[in-house]
Structure 1
Amino acid sequence: MSVDHPPTPGSALWVLAHPRHDSLNGHLFRAGVEALARDHEVVTSDLYAQGFDPVLDAQDLGDAADRPGNLAVQAGEAYLSGRTAPEVRAEHEKLARAELLVLQFPLWWYGTPAILKGWLDRVLTDSFAYDDELDPVHGTPRRYGDGGLTRRRALLIVTVGEDERTLGPRGVSGDLDSLLFPLTHGALWYVGIEALDLHVIHDADSLGAAGVIREKRRLRSRLEGLGTEPSRPFRRLRDGDYPSDLRALDPDLLPGRTDLDIHRAGSAQPRTRSA
C-alpha cells in the first residue's frame, strides 16, 4: 500500500528535545518559533513538556503485541488498522501537514537525546512514513528519497559543548555531519525528507547572556532566509546509482572514495567548510 502525505504549504512542525524550559535551548525554541510564525503556520512538539513516551512497545503493536514478528511491520499493521497510540497519532497528524520539520536538540553522547530517538522510532511508522511497495517504474522500494514524506525539508538545530575545531572534519570528536548521518540520511532521507545544512551552536555550555542574545539573533536570521535556501539531498534509490541489490554505491561512481558525502546527490569532490 503506497503511502503519500502531501504537506500543507507554509506549515511547520518544530520538535524540541530538551528538559529545561529556561535553558539555552528553551530560549532558542521560543525565539525561533516566534520568528518562524511570521510566515508559517507553526505547531510544536515539546517532547519533555508533553511527557512523550520514547519506548516502542506493546502500545504501538495493536493486535500483534503478543506474537513474534518484525516490530516495525507490526507497528505498520497497527497504523493501517487504526490502532496507533493516541500520542503517536497526534504526531502523525502534525507531521503529515508540515512542509518544514525543525528538530532541535542538544548533542548527547554524539547523538540525539533518547526522547527524540524514541520519537523517530514511534512516529516514522511503517505504512505511514514508508512502505515496502515497489515503485512501478523503477522497481525500487519507496525509501531513501521516495518515502511517504517527500516534498518536505528539515532543519536541525543542534547545541554542542565543543568548538568547531574539536567537532570538525579532523577533530578528535569527529565531524558533526558524519555523526548525524544516521539521522539526516538513515531516518529523514529514508522517508523522503531533505535536510538543510545543520544549524549548530558551538560552545553552548559557556555562552553568557551576550552569547545567548547573539545566537537568538543568528537563528532568526537563518529562519528568515529558509525560503531561498537550497537543501542538500542525498542520492535516491530510484535514480539507479545503487546496483539492483541496493546495498552499495555503483563502483564506477567516485571510485576509491568512502566518505559519507559520496551519498550526496551530485557529489564529486569532498565538501570543504569555511571557518
Structure 2
Amino acid sequence: MAGKKVLIVYAHQDPGSFNAALKKAAVEELSKQGCLVTVSDLYAMDFEPRTMKKDFMGPLSDPEHFNYALEAYQAYQQKALSPDIMAEQEKLLEADLVIFQFPLYWYSLPAILKGWMDRVFCQGFAFNFPKYFESGLLKGKRAVLSITTGGPANTYSKTGSRGDIRCYLWPIQHGTLHFCGFQILAPQISFAPDRVSQEEREGMVAAWVRRLAAIWEEAPIDCTAAWYFGQ
C-alpha cells in the first residue's frame, strides 16, 4: 500500500510503555509497506485538552455567553482556530487511516485524547448538519482503536465483572468516529499486558503487526447498535 497515509494518535506518558511498543511496531510495519506515517504523540506535544476561548484567534461572536461549539464552528469557517487545532486537522485531512493508540481509562479515553477529539472534531470540519454518520465530513477515511486494558479478557464479557467491552466502545467508535464519517475497523485489544509474561506481550505485538500487514484488505464493521449490543 505504498503512498497510503496513516496518522497515529498516541496517548501514553511513558516512551517505555507497552502502548509505546505497539505504536513503534505500527510505525515500522506501515513504513515498510511504503505508507507515510505521522504520529501525534499527545503527551510529548503537551497537547492542550481543555476547550477554551484562546482556541479562537479572532473576536468571539458572543463574548458574554460563551458557547464553545458555536464559536468553534464559526472560527473554522473563518480559518481562525488556534494553530495546534489546525495542525491536527491538516493531519486528519491527509490521512487514509487513523490509528488511536491508548490505554483504557475508566472504561473510556485518557483525558488528553478526549480533549483532542473535543477540540479537533469541530462542526464544519468533521461533521455538519445533516452531514454526519455515513455523510460525515471525514467519510472515506478508516479508523481503528488499538487499546490496552488493565484486566484480562474474561472480565470484559457479558458475564464478566467489567461487562462487554463492545458496550463502552459505542460512544467512542459510533458516537464520535462514525458520527464524523469514519469507517470503523474492529478494535485491536491487548488485554492486561502488565499481568502477563514478556513472551505473551511479544505475542501481542506480533499479532498487531500481522494484522497491520493486511489492514488495507479489512472490511469495516457494521457500526450499528447490533454490533455493540446485539451479540
If the length of structure 2 is used for normalisation, what is the TM-score? 0.92
Select the structure of larger CA radius of gyration.
1
Which is worse superposed, 34-43 or 151-160?
A: 34-43
Whether 2:13 is the aligned partner of 1:19: answer yes
Looking at structure 2, the residues matched to 164 and 180 of structure 1 have their Cα atoms a distance apart, in angstroms, of: 15
Looking at structure 1, the residues matched to 10 and 197 of structure 2 have their Cα atoms a distance apart, in angstroms, of: 22
The partner residue of 1:152 within 126, 141, 155 is 141
Q: Which runs of 4+ in 1 moved over 3 A?
A: none
| 1:204-225 per-position Cα deviation (integer Å, ceiling 9, x unaligned) | 2213322222121111001011
**Cα RMSD (Å):** 1.7
If the length of structure 1 is used for normalisation, what is the TM-score? 0.78
Shift in alpha-carbon separation, 1:231–1:262, aligned structure 2, 3 A: closer
How much has 1:100 moved relative to structure 2? 0.3
Equivalent runs, 1:63-142 vs 2, <5 Å: 63-64=59-60, 66-132=63-129, 141-142=130-131
How much has 1:263 moved relative to structure 2? 7.9
Higher helix share: 2
Q: Is the 2:170–2:228 contact (alpha carbons within 8 Å) kept by the matching residues of 1?
A: no
Of all paired residues, the percent bearing the same amino acid is 33
| Structure 1: runs of 5 or more not aligned | 1-8, 133-140, 236-259, 265-269
Looking at structure 2, the residues matched to 202 and 93 of structure 1 have their Cα atoms a distance apart, in angstroms, of: 33
Aligned residues: 226
Shift in alpha-carbon separation, 1:262–1:198, aligned structure 2, 3 A: closer
Q: Is the 2:125–2:137 contact (alpha carbons within 8 Å) kept by the matching residues of 1?
A: yes
| Structure 2: runs of 5 or more not aligned | none
The partner residue of 1:225 within 188, 200, 214 is 214
Whether 2:173 is the aligned partner of 1:189: answer no
Q: Is the 2:150–2:191 contact (alpha carbons within 8 Å) kept by the matching residues of 1?
A: yes
Looking at structure 2, the residues matched to 186 and 57 of structure 1 have their Cα atoms a distance apart, in angstroms, of: 23
Q: Is the 1:32–1:216 contact (alpha carbons within 8 Å) kept by the matching residues of 2?
A: no
